[in-house]
Amino acid sequence: MDRGYIFVNKSHLVSNLNYLSDLTKKELCLVVKANAYGHGIQWTVKTAEEAGISWFAVASVNEAIQVRNISKGARILLLAEPSKSQIKNVLKNEIDLTVYNEEFIDELINVEGNLNVHLKVDTGMHRIGCEPENFDKLMEKIQTSSLNLVGICTHFPTADTDEQYTQSALNLFKALISGHDTDGLLLHVDNSASSFYNSDDSFNMTRIGLAAYGTQISIKNYDHNLMPTMEIKTRISNLQKRNKGDAVSYGKSFELERDSTIATAPIGYGDGYPWNSFPDGHVLVNNKICKLIGRVTMDQILIDVTDIEVKVDDEVTVLGKSENGQHEITVTDIAQWNKTIEWEILTNMSRRLERIEIE
């Protein structure tokens, strides 16, 4: 092991997808944007396809092309309108488009070729989506044009924090589509969080992101049978003895309170390991919890290993369980140390960390 490695667990991803499929009783659209939440888009798409997933959602045309190069048969949903210059690539790679702006829809109507679209309505996120009062007009415009309407969708902004607001958004969506014939259309509103409590069978597809990758969703009173799909490990690359009062790392950010043994491990914010993990963060070395000391640097972290037996090349667990299973560092732990969210931790993991598949 030269630097750090991300171990992606195939059986855990398959287990999560099967569990979520059974839970929702709907077709799953796996969100693989941002390099499949840091897991590696190629590995994720191949594994998910083997598990029966046919729909994949992405944030850019370039991501969609990556999925198409991996799978010729995948259904690919672009979650936002692309630039007009990308329409040729959309057609060439058979990408389904999310649409919501009338001007853009008019542009698409004049394009030669078969374009599949999903009309998105804004029910409270106020980011993208057509205004509710324009929904009927855009539905008619699409359905009387050469465009192929495949689905209708929305996105919940508070699915993991405010179920009442989510229910209001759901009610608005249902009211909007009630005046239209939706037979044969994909109706998708749920994300990972709402999929745990929205059992409404009016909808037939669920967009799953974070939950598929085994990160627990912060919803009270809901049990989750999810298994983490990512572990991050590195190694001890250097050991040194330092004296009480010595300062370590940039900015003299930590002063030793005792004579100490300090280990260096080759992983840092250049790999996506967050800069703010000190002072609250720790790693696992030889089944022991070991505190980070001093600022995380671009390529390395410093670890207090004074109280354990350790040697150069011993394994360091940055994310995951200790070998004896007694300790675990979760994505949520790292997010809390850094006062951020799990999504940011996963998607920031650099391609400098090699992804290795394990069963």
What number of CA atoms fall less than 13 Å from residue 101's CA on the CB side?
Answer: 11
In the annotation, is 33 catalytic? yes
Cis previous bond, 274, omega within 30 = no
Q: How far apart are CA 329 and CA 290, in angstroms?
A: 11
Phi, psi angles (nearest 5°) of residue 86: -95, 0
Q: How far apart are CA 140 and CA 157, in angstroms?
A: 27
The helix or strand, by DSSP H or E, that contains position 142, with its residue range, turns out to be helix 135-143
Q: Map residue 238 onto helix, strand or coil.
A: strand
Look at strands 315-321 and 301-304 and give their pairing.
Answer: unpaired
In the annotation, is 250 catalytic? yes
Q: List CB contacts of 134: < 8 A, sequence separation 6 or more.
A: 102
Residue whose pair of structure tokens reads 């001093």 in the numeric block: 294
| CB-count exposure of residue 201 (10 Å: 0-12, 13-18, 19+) | exposed
Options 33, 100, 120, 269, the catalytic residue? 33
H helices, E strands: number in the chain: 10, 20
* Nearest residue to 187 (alpha-carbon basis) of 51, 79, 57, 26: 26
Options 241, 250, 252, 311, the catalytic residue? 250
The end-to-end CA distance of the chain, in Å, is 19
Phi, psi angles (nearest 5°) of residue 211: -65, -35
Q: How far apart are CA 227 and CA 263, in angstroms?
A: 30
Q: How far apart are CA 130 and CA 359, in angstroms?
A: 43
Q: How far apart are CA 177 and CA 120, in angstroms?
A: 11
**DSSP 8-state code for residue 54:** -
Are the beta carbons of 174 and 182 closer than 8 angstroms?
no
DSSP secondary structure of 120-135: EB-SS--SSSB-GGGH
Active site residues: 33, 250
